[in-house]
Structure 1
Amino acid sequence: MNYKPRIRGTTPEIEEAARRLRKNLTTAETHLWSALKNKQLEGLRFRRQHPVGNFILDFYCASCKLVVEVDGEIHNQQTDRDRARTDKLEEHGYKVLRFSNKQVLNDLPWVLEQIKAIISPP
């Protein structure tokens, strides 16, 4: 059996930070959220700024353990940190997709197609 335990245990500080981030989405996050909320994509429920362990996931679909991250310019300077975070999530069975702000703002249909491809492989 290939059991992957869940990452458990957030802290009150992480949960409070997630609440603050939910109230202050970036322009790109707002753009993507408008396409994901209310089960608009394949009938799946996505959460925004969802705390998991020590992480706050930009968007998360629990039914398929899919994490969608929207990366701004700052992520160009923290690729090692982002890779370690992605590796840790993948160790626990999460699928992680990363998109740049530019991709979300300039080609949302393509971004949504990439998400759909992960949700329902051919």
Structure 2
Amino acid sequence: MPTATLYRSRQLRTSMSDAERKLWNRVRKRQIMRAKFRRQHIIAPYIVDFACIEHSLIIELDGGQHDERSYRDALRTKYLSNLGWRVVRFWNFEVFENMSGVLDAISSLLAPPS
């Protein structure tokens, strides 16, 4: 039986922000470094914006409301990091103003260590 978190994850997939939609169109279907991303992925008790399981990478997009939630975001990041995930955050405006920089940053995180 689906949980409330699963229902919320499905709801978030259908109501993505403009920034999330724009980035999703660039990372879906293995467009970056052949990495598969999932959107609104559940890593209990959280739902993350984008996750690449094979590279243990989470991408979070932050809007203006995150200024007020920085402490909670830090706790969330610490929790996810303790599970072995690398968490990278971008501001929504970065997706709109500097998509190539965002994609370059993601690519560098997916590249094998040299």
Letter aligned with residue 32 of structure 2: L
**Aligned-pair distance for 1:34?**
0.6
Letter in 1 for 2:39: R
Is 1:86 matched with 2:77? Answer: yes
RMSD: 1.0
d(CA) in 1 for partners of 2:70 and 2:49? 17
- Residue equivalent to 2:102: 111
**CA–CA separation in structure 2 for the residues paired with 1:118 and 1:93:** 14
Residue 37 (structure 2) aligns with = 46
Q: Which runs of 5+ in 1 are unaligned?
A: 1-10
> For the residues of structure 2 that align with 1:104 and 1:33, how far apart are their CA atoms?
11
Kindly, what percent of the aligned residue pairs are identical? 33
Name the amino acid aligned to 2:57.
Answer: L
The residue aligned with 1:64 is 55
**How many residues are matched?**
112
Partner of 1:73: 64
Q: Tell me how far apart the structure 1 counterparts of residues 98 and 104 of structure 2 sit (CA, whole Å).
A: 10
Out of 4, 10, 13, the position equivalent to 2:4 is: 13
Partner of 1:101: 92
| SS of the residue 1:43 aligns to | coil
- In 1, the alpha carbon distance for the partners of 2:93 and 2:84 equals 28
AA at the equivalent of 2:18: T
For residue 19 of structure 2, the aligned residue among 20, 28, 33 is 28
Gaps (5+ residues) in structure 2?
Answer: none
- Give TM-score scaled by structure 2 length: 0.95
TM-score by length of 1: 0.89
